[in-house]
């Protein structure tokens, strides 16, 4: 038997949502009317659905409502400095009011249902869980200066004891660095889990303040090879004995490039030096195997005595080193 629902009044909705039974008001069908919804969005740290002492309201969170999943009309606002929102002119009925992340505020979204009665104000506080994001980079000395260190293992030292404990977040870096989601709030360090052999890092931990609902970018950690002092003498080695003998000219203005990418040019991140009137140069270089590109001024080359470019491969340990660059006349 069919019973017409339309009448002088109708029950708008009885819905069970999230275990709570919401009973709508009965409104006049002819004049639906509008009401007001207001409330706060707050960080429900203990997840009990109630705003407790110490739990904060959140400013700048997007809040929107719609009548239901099929209602394409979405009205959006955002919480003010006090974490409050307000919607006027809301059609009467049961509305879902949702809070979602916006701009620099990160929350797990949540929706609450609220019954709007014409001419009245309904209050709906929206509990959400705010989470913090910690990002950062690990970099190393590469062919063109500092570049991303991929595969570095880092952890977030939540209890600040300098060790990676069970339950502490850890990650392996990619080209983009690392990113810890849902990081614990407070002042904490991100530390390198293991430093690769033969590397003397400039920093193995970085520290910052982590705030719920916010993203924080920690300073870079830098892996670097030890830097050593490299000096030497450029000369014409007439007898080819690799010794600077009496009567062998010392070469002035010879450029010595620590050519990390071996392309014959000095670029950003590559050290270099020119020899002085005594044929001496001094610069620095990363320990390990390095390639020196040595450029001799044209005036010497034009003499036909030797080529104007020389490539020298040397292995530097962590101590300082003095080398001889002898040019043997052809």
Nearer Cβ to Ca ion (27/230): 230
| Of 194, 152, 191, the residue nearest 173 (C-alpha) | 152
User: Count residues contacting Ca ion (CB under 5 A)?
Assistant: 20
Residue 281 tokens read as 């140069």
Choose which of 9, 14, 48, 86 interacts with Ca ion (CB under 5 A). Answer: 48
| Of 111, 122, 39, the residue nearest 82 (C-alpha) | 39
Site membership for Ca ion, residue 165 (CB under 5 A): yes
- Taking the complex as a whole, how short is the minimal distance between the CB of residue 40 and Ca ion, in angstroms? 12
Which residue is associated with the tokens 């309904």? 122
Residue 71 tokens read as 């209602």
Residues paired with 272 in a beta bridge: 257
Residue pair 145/136 in contact by the 8 Å Cβ criterion: no
Site membership for Ca ion, residue 43 (CB under 5 A): no
Which residue is associated with the tokens 């002035």? 252
- Taking the complex as a whole, how short is the minimal distance between the CB of residue 299 and Ca ion, in angstroms? 21
Residue pair 251/300 in contact by the 8 Å Cβ criterion: yes
Choose which of 3, 8, 74, 161 interacts with Ca ion (CB under 5 A). Answer: 161
Q: How far apart are alpha carbons 234 and 256 in whole angstroms?
A: 10
- Could you give the count of Cα atoms lying within 13 Å of 142 in the half-sphere of its Cβ? 9
Site membership for Ca ion, residue 261 (CB under 5 A): yes
Site membership for Ca ion, residue 108 (CB under 5 A): no
- Taking the complex as a whole, how short is the minimal distance between the CB of residue 249 and Ca ion, in angstroms? 11
Q: How far apart are alpha carbons 39 and 57 in whole angstroms?
A: 10
Stretch that binds Ca ion, among 39-47, 98-106, 173-181, 195-203 (CB under 5 A): 39-47
| Of 271, 320, 268, 319, the residue nearest 291 (C-alpha) | 271
Stretch that binds Ca ion, among 79-87, 108-116, 173-181, 259-267 (CB under 5 A): 259-267
Site membership for Ca ion, residue 309 (CB under 5 A): no
- Taking the complex as a whole, how short is the minimal distance between the CB of residue 132 and Ca ion, in angstroms? 17
Stretch that binds Ca ion, among 98-106, 145-153, 204-212, 235-243 (CB under 5 A): 235-243
| Of 167, 278, 176, the residue nearest 231 (C-alpha) | 278
Nearer Cβ to Ca ion (63/257): 257
Site membership for Ca ion, residue 203 (CB under 5 A): no
Stretch that binds Ca ion, among 129-137, 165-173, 185-193, 316-324 (CB under 5 A): 165-173
Site membership for Ca ion, residue 237 (CB under 5 A): yes
At 127, give phi and psi (nearest 5°).
-80, 135
Residues forming the site for Ca ion (CB under 5 A): 44, 46, 48, 50, 52, 157, 159, 161, 163, 165, 237, 239, 241, 243, 245, 259, 261, 263, 265, 267
């Amino acid at each position: 038997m069919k019973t017409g629902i339309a009448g002088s009044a109708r029950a708008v909705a009885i819905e069970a949502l999230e275990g709570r039974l919401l009973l709508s008001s009965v409104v006049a069908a002819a004049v639906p009317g509008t009401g007001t919804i207001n409330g706060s969005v707050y960080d429900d740290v203990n997840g009990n659905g109630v705003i407790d002492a110490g739990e904060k309201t959140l400013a700048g969170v997007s809040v929107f409502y719609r009548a239901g999943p099929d209602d394409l009309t979405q009205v959006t606002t955002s919480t003010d400095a006090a974490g409050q929102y307000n919607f006027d002119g809301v059609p009467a009925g049961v509305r879902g009011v949702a809070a979602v992340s916006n701009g620099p505020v990160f929350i797990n979204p949540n929706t609450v249902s609220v019954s709007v009665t014409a001419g009245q104000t309904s209050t709906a506080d929206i509990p959400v869980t705010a989470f913090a994001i910690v990002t950062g980079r690990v970099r190393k000395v590469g062919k063109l200066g500092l570049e991303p260190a991929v595969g570095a293992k880092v952890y977030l030292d939540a209890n600040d004891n300098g060790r990676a404990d069970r339950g502490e977040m850890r990650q392996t870096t990619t080209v983009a660095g690392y990113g810890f989601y849902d990081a614990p709030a407070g002042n904490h360090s991100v530390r390198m889990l293991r430093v690769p052999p033969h590397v003397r890092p400039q920093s193995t931990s970085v520290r910052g303040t982590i705030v719920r609902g916010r993203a924080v970018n920690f300073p870079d950690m830098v892996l670097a090879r030890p830097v050593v002092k490299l000096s030497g003498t450029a000369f014409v080695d007439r007898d080819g004995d690799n010794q600077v003998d009496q009567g062998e000219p010392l070469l002035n203005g010879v450029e010595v490039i620590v050519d990390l990418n071996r392309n014959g040019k000095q670029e950003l991140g590559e050290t270099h030096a020119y020899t002085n009137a005594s044929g001496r140069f001094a610069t620095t270089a990363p320990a390990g195997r390095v390639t020196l590109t040595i450029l001799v001024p044209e005036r010497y080359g034009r003499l036909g005595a030797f080529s104007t470019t020389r490539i020298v491969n040397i292995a530097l340990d962590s101590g300082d080193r003095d080398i001889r660059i002898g040019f043997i006349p052809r």
